[in-house]
Amino acid sequence: MSQPKHFQHYMLKEIYEQPLAVSETAQETGSPDLAAGFMERVPWSLDELKALNRICIAASGTSRHAGIAGKFMLESLARIPTEVEFASEFQHWPVVLGPEVLMLVITQSGETADTLGAMRKAKKSGAKVLAISNVAECSIMREADVGIHTKAGPELSVPSTKAFTAQLAALFILAIHLAEARGNISADYAKQCIAELKRIPEKLKSVLELDQRCQELGHRYYKHEDFFFAGRGVHYAIAMDGALKLKEVSYIHAEGYPSGEILHGPLALIDERVVVVVIATCDPGDAESMIRYEKTVSNIKEFKGRSGKVIALACEGDRSIEGLVDDVLYIPPAPDMLSSILEIVPLQLLAYHIAVLRGLDVDRPRSLAKAVIRE
């Protein structure tokens, strides 16, 4: 594999391509007349969409973390109960599906064996199947009832970065489409949401300016061997993927948790040797987001009380967090659901720089492949 021009590794190049990946995905799937455009694409009637009583998401690895964020988006906007399953387990469970269930499968390559198996089981059970993939001409897109093609472009590094943020954008748009088609939100609100999404690429560019700061933190923490990543609500998905990125490229033990769950057992592990990365962003215009933020601040005090090293992700202008933690990474403010797209970027950069400092091949981690095509 030849090295990319201007970048030491493909992983770093692809991290920097995320503003374009999100922009292209938003333009592809976020039509001005959302409900009408969506109904033209899906093979189901409006009555069938209104009759949906459950969404089941099946995916693996980073794509599953996108699905966890998607669950929050779909339940918040479309008001449809949603569950997220491991694709490798779903195909072997005695699940009960049917025509009132939407099966959503997410995969970067479209050839992941476990995800294909989960989709085929869902189709046999009579569920409606929608696929999200970064490859238009792939097995999963051909076999699904309908597909959403994310526009991240070829992703050559094994750790997924830009495909993940494109998946988050696609899931947000899908949640908006379904919510408007089912009458849960107005056309005007749907357009406001898409307008906010289309502001995200410029905000991503400013987040990439944290690269040097993440490198500095890498120098500070690369010798640590245990990391916890914590987030509430949609941010839990980002904590999960931040931990996965660090594991994949640096071979450091890392776990992602809902912030409050660390108090239910894992807190016993936190001492001066453990680094805790806490997502402490908030949307002041969202009452639920503010409640989650206040609880997260309380959790941070618990972590520091055990002498843990704490790095926080916070919104620009939040200076109250500085006195509580060892280091802060500031990102631009955004609506709660969309801030997830911004939050993952500094965590990707941190994992990248730690791995480079440890002398590892970030593009080809040991034992891993870009697409797991065998079960």
Task: Say what percent of the chain tops pLDDT 70.
Answer: 94
pLDDT per position as a tens digit, 127-182: 999 999 999 899 999 999 999 999 999 999 999 999 999 999 999 999 999 999 89
DSSP H/E element including 310: strand 309-315
Same fold, 10-198 and 205-357: yes
For 142-179, give the secondary structure using H, E and C: HHCCEEEECCCCCCCCCCCCHHHHHHHHHHHHHHHHHH
pLDDT per position as a tens digit, 241-271: 999 999 999 999 999 999 988 889 888 788 8
pLDDT per position as a tens digit, 35-80: 555 666 788 888 999 999 999 999 999 999 999 999 999 999 999 9
Give residue 28's pLDDT.
63
Judge whether residue 108 has pLDDT over 60: yes
Residue type at position 217: L
- Among 238, 337, 232, smallest CA distance to 293 is for 232
Phi–psi pair at 149, nearest 5 degrees: -95, 110
Query: Which CATH architecture is the domain 10-198 placed in?
Result: 3-Layer(aba) Sandwich (3.40)
Judge whether residue 234 has pLDDT over 60: yes
- Among 264, 248, 314, smallest CA distance to 284 is for 314
CATH topology of domain 205-357: Rossmann fold (3.40.50)
Q: Where are the alpha helices (DSSP H) in the chain?
A: 10-16, 18-29, 34-41, 46-50, 61-73, 87-90, 113-124, 139-143, 162-181, 187-197, 200-207, 211-221, 235-250, 287-305, 336-357
Locate the domains of the chain by residue range.
Answer: 10-198, 205-357
Q: What span, in angstroms and rounded, lies between the C-alpha atoms of 123 and 235?
A: 31
The two tokens of residue 85 are: 């399953």
Q: Distance from CA of residue 371 to its chain's centroid?
A: 18
- Among 350, 366, 26, smallest CA distance to 161 is for 350
What is the pTM for the complete model shown? 0.94
